[in-house]
Amino acid sequence: MTHTDAPLPLFPHRHLLGIRDLSPPDIEILLDRADRAVSISRQSEKKTSTLRGRTQINLFFESSTRTQSSFELAGKRLGADVMNMSVASSSVKKGETLIDTAMTLNAMRPDILIIRHQSAGAAALLAQKVGCSVVNAGDGTHEHPTQALLDALTIRRAKGRIGGLTVAICGDILHSRVARSNIILLNALGAQVRVVAPSTLMPSGIEQMSVNVFRNMEEGLKGADVVMMLRLQRERMAGSFVPSVREYFRYFGLDAEKLKAAKEDALVMHPGPMNRGVEIASEIADGPQSVIQEQVEMGVAVRMAVMEALLDPRRNPEGPGA
Ligand code: NCD
């Protein structure tokens, strides 16, 4: 069976700016579509024609290897023409603003713009200015919706469900758009969400996001079904948030000893890129409970699903801007 055999429910949005804008059924639509996309990626013939003739522009103001290549492969597997524009090779360095760049690209009539930017709200701003669909690939410390969706897909495929699971998100919560998007999504689908971090990396008022707060790894991991580690985002830290890397690993790095507190079959996740020996021990990252490689695979499938859903011809048969 191919992904086009049975009609899928219509996704009722033109842009994907954050998980906050999605209802639980919206999330399920994307995860179900992504399940179908996984099988396409596992065939030797990986190219489909869903987005044939469509133009996708990846506009990355922050450096990224895995997210950008994941969006690029996803677009290519759907048959779209994909153009990558990164800040280093653009005139943004010459003082052109985000909006000027967006308007210039918009005049080239793309069908979908994927944006990563260092400022929260950049994707939403862009969506107001351009005539095509916009996908947020990470805006500052705000949201990273496709990461949360790929994490949810990985969990759902491994555990068969999300509702009722206990998920511990650990580490640099303060600077993490991955944590924010995951907290919103996992809560929407009925998981119990815990956040585990030292006080300096715990955002104030995080309790208002319906999470249980822990400042000790063993307590936070106790009985967890999923342990999601976050990268220590040193590039976002102005002062000293952690005494030393060695100290951080000792108390908050995931090693075999700390992992024992979680359920025996707990999944270990990390969005990458990993700082091995800082937030996670190599033996755990590469160990039997790790689904970190699956996350990467699910990333391509989720991005295929998102782009197909946004550009669904049933909603707008003539295409955006027509
Ligand atoms: C994440 C990001 O950029 O927010 N990484 C990613 O999407 N590959 C997490 C991180 O940078 O730590």
> How far apart are alpha carbons 6 and 318 in whole angstroms?
22
What is the predicted pLDDT for the residue at 99?
A: 85
Distance 234 CA to ligand 1 centre (A): 12
- Tell the CATH superfamily of the 15-142+297-315 domain: Aspartate/ornithine carbamoyltransferase (3.40.50.1370)
66 in a known ligand binding site: yes
94 in a known ligand binding site: yes
273 in a known ligand binding site: yes
pLDDT tens, residue order, the chain (322 aa): 445 567 889 999 999 999 999 999 999 999 999 999 999 999 999 999 999 999 999 999 988 889 999 999 999 999 999 999 987 655 565 666 888 888 899 999 999 999 999 999 999 999 999 999 999 999 999 999 999 999 999 999 999 999 999 999 999 999 999 999 999 999 999 999 999 999 999 999 999 999 999 999 999 999 999 999 999 988 877 777 777 889 999 999 999 999 999 999 999 999 999 999 999 999 999 999 999 999 999 999 999 999 999 999 987 655 444 3
Distance 8 CA to ligand 1 centre (A): 30
Which atom of ligand 1 is nearest the CA belonging to 177? 4
- Tell the CATH superfamily of the 145-296 domain: Aspartate/ornithine carbamoyltransferase (3.40.50.1370)
| Every domain range in the chain assigned CATH 3.40.50.1370 | 15-142+297-315, 145-296
Distance 32 CA to ligand 1 centre (A): 24
Q: Check residue 189 and report its DSSP letter.
A: T
Q: How far is CA 114 from the centre of its chain?
A: 13
Q: How many residues does the chain have?
A: 322
Torsion angle in degrees (nearest 10) through CA of 62, 63, 69, 71: -10
Question: In a 10 Å sphere around its CB, with 0-12 CB exposed, 13-18 middle and 19+ buried, how is residue 110 labelled?
Answer: buried
What is the predicted pLDDT for the residue at 262?
A: 98
What is the predicted pLDDT for the residue at 276?
A: 96
Task: Write out the E strands in 29-121.
Answer: 55-60, 81-86, 112-117
> How far apart are alpha carbons 155 and 192 in whole angstroms?
13
67 in a known ligand binding site: yes
User: Does the CB atom of residue 277 touch ligand 1 within 6 A?
Assistant: no
pTM for the full predicted model? 0.94
Q: What is the DSSP string of 40-70?
A: HHTSS-----TTTT-EEEEEESS--SHHHHH
In this structure, how many other beta carbons lie within 10 angstroms of the beta carbon of residue 10? 11
Distance 178 CA to ligand 1 centre (A): 7
Structure tokens at 68: 């950008």
Torsion angle in degrees (nearest 10) through CA of 284, 285, 286, 291: 110
3-class state of residue 239 by DSSP:
coil
